[in-house]
Amino acid sequence: MENIFLNKAIEISLESIKKGGGPFGACIVRDNEIISLEHNTVTIDNDPTAHAEINAIRTASKKLGKFDLSDCVIYSSTEPCPMCLSAIYWAKIPVVYFATTRKDAEEIGFSDNLIYEEINKPISKRKIRMIQLNKSKSLEVFEVWKKYENKIEY
């Protein structure tokens, strides 16, 4: 099935390659209107978090003036990686449309398997050493947050 918004995400993913970015694009839509259309800029910006979906979420949030994008949908040229999927959940986007799968991306050198494997391991078994320090001091900040009357919940 063809979709105009998904085609836009795919088209910008091709533009991304020509600009020196990765082959990924994303489009955020609200009420059949494109709010943001972005591509991967990891190598352009030297920013490992500058995936198409992250860029699209950042642009849409700024444009709409809110972090809750629950009234939007996202179209991604490829199934979102674990980082982007997490950001989609944090943005409360309820629907993701995508074209190619993570397996397709793996076949051209973009594999997220390590992350999927690592996330399910106990902290002590992960490849990246994770060392907990200063818990009581950080818990003090949480106590302030719990009592803070002007907090914006998210």
Catalytic sites, residue numbers: 53
Answer positive or negative: Cα dihedral of 31, 50, 133, 151: negative
Question: What is the DSSP secondary-structure string of 92-145?
Answer: T---EEEEE-HHHHHTTT---HHHHHHHTS-GGGSSS------HHHHHHHHHHH
| Residue 35 contacts residue 60 (beta carbons within 8 Å) | yes
The residue type at 65: G
